Amino acid sequence: MEGFSLLSFLDAPCLVIDPEGRVVCVNPAFERRFGSVGASVLGVELASFFEGGGREILLQAVADVCANGVSTRFRMREENRGLLGLASPIEAPDAPADRVGVVILLIDEPALDVDLQALQREIHEPLDEAIFCLEQLIEQTVGRSNEALRVAVERGMAAVVRAQKWSGELEDALNGRSGRDAVDARLDPVGLIHAVGARVSDALEEAGLGFDLLVPVQLPPARGDGNVLEAALVRLLRLRVATAAPGSALMLAARTMGAEGHRALLVTVVDRPRNAGEEDGEGLEPRSLCEAVAAYGGQVHTARIPQAGRATCLRLPLA
């Protein structure tokens, strides 16, 4: 272990991993930070040190270093604290490329201003309400003769959606989530559908509308941000409640579709519009919903179903 003696002088937690992903050395700073004793962790697999998303991020960083032979930076959270990390390959003379270990350096991310996080949430809430109001206006102006009014409403919607996107990016930055985390995000379809149904049940009851929730007990995870998609689906259902024919019913369903290797998650909202002219589905997909789905390679389409009404379908790739 003499070759690793310099690590003892580092104030930041540091550990060394062998090609099999086992710990071969930790420095005193790591022992103090994570409550581990060096002799007791030697030979332990790296995956045993951390939990949840932080473990996945760390293991992915190590895999990238082993595959590419270059250092990589990453961010993770452990016990509600942010960590900045650097994983680097250990160069050993005459050692095969696939037998080189990895040294990992971790430092605490600077503490975030709680007031700043609260301000971000306060900004996001009125933006969310503004989108809902503008989507109602768009719903009322579709197919109308006042083209200038429709264009003005759509421009306002685009501006608010951009502001909401920046608010979301600020939230990700404040909570230590990177752009890569967002791309790799996955959601639980069953939990998503039940959460949306619970949030709109009061509005449906107040409007005197029926509601059918069709979802199997289990579905494979899909690509997407569950929180963002939940908010967008709730807004869509609130819009459909506002324009639904009296005494009718809405349906929210989820299932998988497609052949093996090309399967996707299909989430469908079916309703019967108050005005028959709205059943063509032209332009009835809320912009916020389309952007939330498109960010993960999905699509949104609204179509007319004979004898049933209109169906807004979300197609998301499986994770």
pLDDT tens across 138-196, in order? 666 655 556 777 677 777 777 777 777 777 777 766 665 554 444 556 788 998 999 89
Confidence of residue 284 (pLDDT cuts 50, 70, 90): low
Q: Where are the beta strands (DSSP E) in the chain?
A: 14-17, 23-26, 72-78, 81-89, 102-108, 186-187, 210-214, 222-223, 249-257, 264-271, 299-305, 309-317
Distance (Å, whole) CA 235 – CA 60: 35
Global pTM?
Answer: 0.50
Most confident of 15-24, 118-127, 164-173: 15-24
- What pLDDT does 290 receive? 81
| DSSP letters for 136-176 | HHHHHHTT-S-HHHHHHHHHHHHHHHHHHHHHHHHHHHHTT
Residue 36 clears pLDDT 80, i.e. is over it: no
Distance (Å, whole) CA 126 – CA 132: 10
Confidence of residue 94 (pLDDT cuts 50, 70, 90): low
Do the beta carbons of residue 267 and residue 316 sit within 8 Å? yes
Do the beta carbons of residue 214 and residue 193 sit within 8 Å? no
- What pLDDT does 266 receive? 92
- What pLDDT does 143 receive? 53
Fold of 2-108: Beta-Lactamase (3.30.450)
Helix, strand, coil percent content, the chain, rounded in steps of 5:
50, 25, 30
**Which superfamily does 186-319 belong to?**
Histidine kinase-like ATPase, C-terminal domain (3.30.565.10)
Higher pLDDT, 106 or 281: 106
- Take residue 18 and report the two structure tokens written for it: 């062998």
Kindly state the average pLDDT of the residues 122-132. Answer: 74
Kindly state the average pLDDT of the residues 128-132. Answer: 75
Do the beta carbons of residue 264 and residue 257 sit within 8 Å? yes
The residue count for the chain: 319
Residue 292 clears pLDDT 90, i.e. is over it: no
Residue 136 clears pLDDT 60, i.e. is over it: yes
Q: Which of 47-56, 215-224, 261-270 has the lowest mean pLDDT?
A: 47-56
Kindly state the average pLDDT of the residues 10-33. Answer: 83
Express as a percent the part of the chain with pLDDT over 70.
Answer: 76
Most confident of 182-191, 208-217, 281-290: 208-217
Q: 26 exposed, middle or buried (CB, 10 Å; 0-12, 13-18, 19+)?
A: buried
- Say if strands 249-257 and 210-214 run parallel, antiparallel, or are unpaired: parallel
Amino acid at 93: P
188 to 157, 220, 262, 297: CA distances (angstroms): 29, 7, 19, 17
Residue 104 clears pLDDT 50, i.e. is over it: yes
For the chain, give the mean pLDDT: 77
- What pLDDT does 279 receive? 47
Amino acid at 234: V
* SS3 at position 65: helix
* SS3 at position 310: strand
Do the beta carbons of residue 297 and residue 317 sit within 8 Å? yes
Do the beta carbons of residue 17 and residue 44 sit within 8 Å? no
- Take residue 55 and report the two structure tokens written for it: 């473990």
Confidence of residue 79 (pLDDT cuts 50, 70, 90): low
Higher pLDDT, 229 or 127: 229
